[in-house]
Amino acid sequence: MDKKVACPHFSLWGAATSAHQVEGGNQWNDWWAWEKAGKVAEASGPACDHYHRFREDFRLARSLGHTAHRFSLEWSRLEPDEGQWSEEAFRHYDEVFDALASVGLEPVVTLHHFTNPAWFAKQGGWLAPQAVEKFAAYVRRVAERYGRRVRFWITFNEPLIYIYQGFLLGRWPPGEESVEKGFRVLRELVRAHI
């Protein structure tokens, strides 16, 4: 019984990143504003400059035996102002997908990893009317651009952690401490996921 059975869903091995935590310079989102307000011990700043070093990072990951890479697209880079899409940011992520393919890493894409565009946050974020529709517009745009390149999508990274930290404990943006608001956001995230 030395014969191996190939199963692509169980042969994925890799690491995961968050755009805000590794790219650096994500100045158009609510976390950047939170950091600038002094609400964290260390601001992300340039982070590990993955925005410029992604090719090198992916080659290193592949050399370690990785077969997949989970990463998030930074909504605020792609749509820095409501309804204003950045072709430059889309081209950057085109290059990210090309680099993953060039070393044989399967892309696993997270659409929302704790950060919101600053314009979205100023409108009330996930508590605002039309929040789900605005997120859906972003998702449609991303799916149209990258749908042929991605098999595995993650809508929200750890949504309950996001709610717990941001809406119950107030440690993350938007800094709310309200069970009622937390449940409202949970409902909106479920609607957005659906």
Task: Give CA separation, 109 vs 15, 52, 66, 100, 162, in Å.
Answer: 12, 19, 16, 12, 18
> 78-120, pLDDT tens digit by residue?
999 999 999 999 999 999 999 999 999 999 999 999 999 999 9
pTM attached to this predicted model: 0.92
> 46-75, pLDDT tens digit by residue?
999 999 999 999 999 999 999 999 999 999
- Expressed in angstroms, the distance from the first to the final Cα of the chain is 43
